[in-house]
Amino acid sequence: MLDAYPRIFFACHTRHVRDPETGRDVSAHQASILDHLDEVDPMSMTDLAGHMGVTIATMSLAIDRLEHEGYVRRERDAKDGRRVLLRVTDAGLRVREAKSVLDPVRVEQVLARFSPAERDHALQGLGLLARASTHHMKASKETGIRGKKRRTSNRRT
């Protein structure tokens, strides 16, 4: 699983999101920025840059592009005019809704490499993994387990 999943993800993940209304492409990085913004509660440019691990200047350039396309609204904080606050617009929400982790065309191309029987086996196996993952997440939520690995000692005394 640790070897296979990254290869599957790399082959099939989306590299951009297409705005369903305008047809414009938004990069995966830009779409990730949209994921972090809310339409009601603003986030400061500083907080967003820090959260995403980039400089404020780098984030400002990305926000410039998103604002130019109408996906983000930038405003000054009424309490502190030095702070820039960001909100996602309706157009940004539309792009966020259109986002998918996997590109359906790429997935179809990968699955087309299988014989019908192999494809059925592969999809059954993925279905089993998905079901086990759902059960694991549900059990973790109920018991408060966060998926952290406990350190165990294999040392013999």
pLDDT tens digits, one per residue of 79-107: 998 899 999 999 999 999 988 888 888 99
The pTM assigned to this predicted structure is: 0.62
Write the pLDDT tens digit of every residue in 43-63: 999 999 999 999 999 999 999
Closest CA to 32 of 72, 70, 5: 72
